[in-house]
Amino acid sequence: MAFYQPARYQKPVAGALLLALLALPPALAALGHEFYIGFATRLLIFALAASSLNLVLGFGGMFSLGHAAFFGAGAYAAAICMRAGISEALLALPLAMLVAGALALLVGAISLRTRGVYFIMITLAFAQMAYYLFISARAWGGDDGLPLPGRMTLAGLSLGSDSALFYAALGCLALAVVFLGRLAGARFGRTIQAIRENETRMEALGYPVFRYRLVCFALGGALAGLAGALLANLTGLASPNLLQWTQSGTLLVMVIIGGVGYLYGGVVGAVVLLSLEEVLSGFTQHWPIGLGLLLLAIVLFAPRGVAALFGKAGG
Amino acid sequence: MLRHVAAFTAALLLASSLQAADRIKVGLLSTLSGAGAGLGVDIRDGFNLAVKQLNGQLGGLPAEVIIADDQQSPDVARQMADKFLKKDKVDFMTGIVFSNIMLAVGPTVFENQTFYISANAGPSQYAGEQCNPYFFNVAWQNDNLHEAVGKYVQDKGFRKLVIVTPNYPGGKDAVAGFRRYYKGMVAEEIYTRLGQLDYAAELAQVRAIKPDALFFFLPGGMGINFVKQFVATGLSRDTQLFAPGFSADEDVIKAVGPAMMGMFNSSHWAHDMDNPENRRFVADFQKEYGRLPSLYASQGYDAARLMDAAVRDVQGKVEDKAALRKALEAKRFKSVRGEFRFNSNHYPIQNYYLRVIGKDASGRVTNKSMGTIFTNHSDAYVGQCRMK
Amino acid sequence: MTQLILEQALNGLQFGLMLFLLAAGLTLVFGIMDCINLAHGSLYMVGAYFVAAAAQAADSFWIGLAVGVAGAALLGLLLELSLFRRLYRRDHLAQVLATFALILIANETVRMIWGAQPVMLNAPDALAGPLEIAGFSYPAYRLVIIAFGLAVAGLLYLLVARSRVGMWVRAGAANREMTEALGIDVQRLFTAVFVFGAALCALAGGLLGPLLAVQVGMGESVLILAFVVIIIGGIGSVRGALVGSLIVGTADTLGRALLPTLLRATLPADTASMLGPALASILIYLLMAAILFFRPQGLFPARA
ipTM for the predicted complex: 0.83
Give the integer Cα–Cα distance in Å for C124 and B192: 28
Per-domain boundaries in chain A: 10-310
Amino acid at C39: A
C residues 135-154 closer than 8 Å to A (CB): none
Report, as an integer, the average pLDDT of A147-168. 89
Predicted local confidence at residue C14, as pLDDT? 94
Predicted local confidence at residue A233, as pLDDT? 94
Predicted local confidence at residue B27, as pLDDT? 96
Predicted local confidence at residue A309, as pLDDT? 62
Range in B95-104, B227-236, C127-136 with the lowest mean pLDDT: C127-136
Q: Is the CB of residue A193 less than 8 Å away from at least one CB of chain B?
A: no
Mind telling me how many Å the CA of C59 is from chain B's nearest CA?
16
Report, as an integer, the average pLDDT of B158-182. 88
Q: Which chains lie within 8 Å of chain B at 3 or more CB pairs, if any?
A: A, C
Mind telling me how many Å the CA of A143 is from chain C's nearest CA?
12
Measured between beta carbons, which residues in chain A are less than 8 angstroms from residue B102? none
Full-model pTM:
0.85
% pLDDT > 90, chain A: 46
Interface with chain C: mutation pick from A1, A112, A289, highest number of C CBs within 10 Å: A289
pLDDT at A302 over 90: no
Q: Which chains lie within 8 Å of chain C at 3 or more CB pairs, if any?
A: A, B
Give the integer Cα–Cα distance in Å for C230 and C35: 13
Mind telling me how many Å the CA of B24 is from chain C's nearest CA?
28
Predicted local confidence at residue B6, as pLDDT? 37
B262: left (phi over 0), alpha (psi -120 to 50) or beta: left
Q: Which domains does chain B have, with CATH numbers?
A: 10-140+274-338 (3.40.50.2300), 143-267+352-377 (3.40.50.2300)
**Identity of the residue in A35, A237, A239 whose CB atom sits nearest the CB atom of B83:** A35
pLDDT band at C79 (very low <50, low <70, confident <90, very high): very high
Q: Is the CB of residue A252 less than 8 Å away from at least one CB of chain C?
A: yes
Q: Quick one: closest CA in C to A246, which residue? A: C220
**Identity of the residue in B1, B87, B104 whose CB atom sits nearest the CB atom of A246:** B1
Q: Is the CB of residue B80 less than 8 Å away from at least one CB of chain A?
A: no
Predicted local confidence at residue C273, as pLDDT? 67
Average pLDDT, whole number, for chain A?
87
pLDDT at C242 over 70: yes
Question: What top-level class would CATH report for the domain C2-294?
Answer: mainly alpha
pLDDT band at B270 (very low <50, low <70, confident <90, very high): very high
Give the integer Cα–Cα distance in Å for A120 and A56: 12
C residues 145-174 closer than 8 Å to B (CB): none
Predicted local confidence at residue C194, as pLDDT? 93
Given an 8 Å threshold on Cβ–Cβ distance, is B41 in contact with C116? yes
Q: Is the CB of residue A285 less than 8 Å away from at least one CB of chain B?
A: yes
Quickly count: other Cβ atoms within 10 Å of residue A27's Cβ.
12
% pLDDT > 90, chain C: 41
Interface with chain C: mutation pick from B33, B69, B71, highest number of C CBs within 10 Å: B33
pLDDT at B59 over 80: yes
Mind telling me how many Å the CA of B234 is from chain C's nearest CA?
5
Phi, psi (5° rounding) for residue B112? Answer: -80, 0
The predicted-structure confidence for B347-385, as pLDDT tens digits, reads as follows: 999 999 999 999 988 888 999 999 999 999 999 999 999
Measured between beta carbons, which residues in chain A are less than 8 angstroms from residue B74? 144-145, 237, 239, 241
C236 versus B181: the higher-pLDDT residue is: B181
Q: Is the CB of residue C281 less than 8 Å away from at least one CB of chain A?
A: yes
**Identity of the residue in C30, C92, C298 whose CB atom sits nearest the CB atom of A63:** C92
pLDDT band at A9 (very low <50, low <70, confident <90, very high): low
The predicted-structure confidence for B93-105, as pLDDT tens digits, reads as follows: 999 998 888 988 9
3-state secondary structure A71-84: HHHHHHHHHHHHHC
Measured between beta carbons, which residues in chain C are less than 8 angstroms from residue B192? 256, 277
Mind telling me how many Å the CA of A115 is from chain C's nearest CA?
8
Report, as an integer, the average pLDDT of C90-116. 89
Range in B99-113, B163-177, B233-247 with the lowest mean pLDDT: B163-177
Per-domain boundaries in chain C: 2-294
Average pLDDT, whole number, for chain B?
88
pLDDT at A185 over 90: no
Predicted local confidence at residue B104, as pLDDT? 87
The predicted-structure confidence for B22-33, as pLDDT tens digits, reads as follows: 899 999 999 987
Given an 8 Å threshold on Cβ–Cβ distance, is A285 in contact with B6? yes
Mind telling me how many Å the CA of C127 is from chain B's nearest CA?
8
Nearest Cα to Cα of residue C142 among A55, A252, A28, B234:
B234
Q: Is the CB of residue B78 less than 8 Å away from at least one CB of chain A?
A: yes
Measured between beta carbons, which residues in chain C are less than 8 angstroms from residue A57? 93
Sign of the alpha-carbon dihedral angle for A66, A71, A72, A74: positive
Report, as an integer, the average pLDDT of A75-102. 94
C residues 23-62 closer than 8 Å to A (CB): 30, 36, 38
Residues 6+ apart with CB under 8 A from A69: A103, A107, A126, A127, A130, A131, A243, A248
Evaluate whether B57 touches B23 at the Cβ level (below 8 Å).
no
Q: Quick one: closest CA in B to C12, which residue? A: B201
The predicted-structure confidence for A33-43, as pLDDT tens digits, reads as follows: 888 898 999 99
pLDDT band at B306 (very low <50, low <70, confident <90, very high): very high
3-state secondary structure chain C: CHHHHHHHHHHHHHHHHHHHHHHHHHHHHHHHHCCCCCCHHHHHHHHHHHHHHHHHHHCCHHHHHHHHHHHHHHHHHHHHHHHHHHHCCCCHHHHHHHHHHHHHHHHHHHHHHHCCCCECCCCCHHHCCEEEECCEEEEHHHHHHHHHHHHHHHHHHHHHHHCHHHHHHHHHHHCHHHHHHCCCCHHHHHHHHHHHHHHHHHHHHHHHCCCCCECCCHHHHHHHHHHHHHHHHCCCCHHHHHHHHHHHHHHHHHHHHHHHHHHHHHCCHHHHHHHHHHHHHHHHHHHHHHHHHHCCCCCCCCCC
C134 versus C298: the higher-pLDDT residue is: C298
The CATH number of domain A10-310 is 1.10.10: no
Report, as an integer, the average pLDDT of A213-234. 96
The predicted-structure confidence for C58-78, as pLDDT tens digits, reads as follows: 999 999 999 999 999 999 999
Phi, psi (5° rounding) for residue C91? Answer: -80, 170
Sign of the alpha-carbon dihedral angle for C192, C193, C194, C200: positive
**Identity of the residue in A236, A273, A277 whose CB atom sits nearest the CB atom of B107:** A236
Give the integer Cα–Cα distance in Å for A150 and B81: 17
Report, as an integer, the average pLDDT of C239-253. 92
Range in B324-328, C34-38, C71-75, C151-155 with the lowest mean pLDDT: C34-38
pLDDT band at A310 (very low <50, low <70, confident <90, very high): low
Q: How far is CA A120 from CA A110, A205, B220, B329, C293, in A?
A: 13, 27, 34, 56, 14
Q: Quick one: closest CA in A to B6, which residue? A: A281
Q: Is the CB of residue A110 less than 8 Å away from at least one CB of chain C?
A: yes
Given an 8 Å threshold on Cβ–Cβ distance, is A143 in contact with B2? no
Predicted local confidence at residue C118, as pLDDT? 78
**Identity of the residue in A138, A143, A239 whose CB atom sits nearest the CB atom of B75:** A239
Q: Quick one: closest CA in C to A301, which residue? A: C94
Q: Quick one: closest CA in C to B259, which residue? A: C128
Q: Is the CB of residue B95 less than 8 Å away from at least one CB of chain C?
A: no
pLDDT at B269 over 70: yes
Given an 8 Å threshold on Cβ–Cβ distance, is A235 in contact with B78? yes
Predicted local confidence at residue A284, as pLDDT? 77
C256 versus A237: the higher-pLDDT residue is: A237
The predicted-structure confidence for A101-149, as pLDDT tens digits, reads as follows: 999 999 999 899 888 888 988 898 899 889 988 887 778 877 778 888 8
Give the integer Cα–Cα distance in Å for A212 and A205: 14
Q: Which chains lie within 8 Å of chain A at 3 or more CB pairs, if any?
A: B, C
Given an 8 Å threshold on Cβ–Cβ distance, is C220 in contact with B33? no
Evaluate whether A254 touches A266 at the Cβ level (below 8 Å).
yes
Q: How far is CA A176 from CA A57, A275, B382, in A?
A: 16, 22, 50
Measured between beta carbons, which residues in chain B are less than 8 angstroms from residue A281? 5-7
